[in-house]
Structure 1
């Protein structure tokens, strides 16, 4: 069964699958319709777009999670236009049996798509290589947080509160130049070598916010 709000993509994918000998028994445009179709006649596998109506956020992922709970024997392949490591992690948090996450570009490779579906139905997991690379890079950067000194963590936590370098300096009673030096060391340790300072700052803050320690520390006092 296929679920994608784009009729053109859905029809094209259905024809592609049919050419491989795959029986496409239902084509729907949203998650709710897919859940009803699966309940009426469970297929071997479903292919669902990660963003669908009404809000185009994570409706496809929510649908996948619902189906994995209600029909664990149905293999689920989630398709995404872009690499979204956080959503892939969320999908895999429910277990790695008969679940897959691929970029939409991969469906053009008939052999790869057919192999992915076969492996999913056999109970395996299929994760797009680009997503795997992103997850490994994210894990490496998270691990790098361990290498930050207590003062560097203070600076990063203050940055995560939305403070500028001047604001961090005021809150921690440091000079602005010292904060800049701390920030440079933080970016280096986390492997953030982008040329735009704002991008490195945002990525560093995101890594901190995703770390459990960010929820166990009190805010920096002004």
Structure 2
């Protein structure tokens, strides 16, 4: 089996590659961003792509967007998505596509070698491997407000956004780096399902969602 890995963490990327090698699975390319992923997929046409949801430059949904673009060009491409937590909107989009060869696992599952390798083989054969936590959250998604998915810190950042603060002002208020605030804001947009749009400002839409929840 020939695999492409897209993961921005050098350690996790190397760990997955070594784990696969121990199982006789060849990694033909390992990249750290979505654009390179598309390039190596076109070049190698692998049997499976293992892709992190969040990669540079914004660490929001680059990996998932790259996967969806890749599957438009290669509908039969098996994809195993890894995520730090459940990205419900994208999980639904992948799972509901009707195409085989789809997996969605939380990153913590990689530590269970047998479970991870089983998922790799199953997805590569055209089957599915959906994390039980993903299933549980999707079943409950209709009963929850998206704001509930935010962490306490993300809600705090969104609350300051609602007060009209810039990222720099929020960083100063919370005594954190500008980069940390940018990451929190990216997480907020992703969890609220707010994609870039020329018609609507994501920051305003996020604040509206916050005010409606209060």
User: Which of the five TM-score ranges fits, normalised by the shorter chain?
Assistant: 0.5 to 0.7
- Which residue matches 2:58? 55
1:45 lines up with 2:48 in the alignment: yes
Structure 1, unaligned runs of 5 or more: 143-204, 210-222
**Which structure has the higher relative contact order (CA within 8 Å, separation 6+)?**
2
For 1:112 and 1:119, the matched residues in 2 are separated by 10
For 1:121 and 1:12, the matched residues in 2 are separated by 19
Which of 89, 92, 104 matches 2:92? Answer: 89
Give the Å deviation of 1:140: 5.6
1:135 lines up with 2:138 in the alignment: yes
- Structure having the higher Rg: 1
For 2:64 and 2:20, the matched residues in 1 are separated by 22
Which of 125, 128, 131 matches 2:128? Answer: 125
Q: Which TM-score applies when normalising by structure 2?
A: 0.63
Q: Is the 8 A contact 1:75 1:123 kept in 2?
A: yes
For 2:29 and 2:144, the matched residues in 1 are separated by 42
Give the Å deviation of 1:116: 0.7
Count of residues in Structure 1 that have an aligned counterpart in Structure 2: 145
Q: Which TM-score applies when normalising by structure 1?
A: 0.61
1:27 lines up with 2:30 in the alignment: yes
Structure 2, unaligned runs of 5 or more: 146-207
Which of 1, 8, 13 matches 2:11? Answer: 8
Q: After alignment, is 115-124 or 37-46 more displaced? A: 115-124
* Shift >3 Å, 4+ stretches: 139-142
1:110 lines up with 2:113 in the alignment: yes
For 1:128 and 1:7, the matched residues in 2 are separated by 24
**Aligned partner of residue 32 in structure 1, secondary structure:** helix
- Superposed CA deviations along residues 20-64 of structure 1, whole A, max 9, x for unmatched, are 111111111111111111101101001010000111111010011
Root-mean-square deviation over aligned CA pairs: 2.0
Q: Is the 8 A contact 2:95 2:102 kept in 1?
A: yes
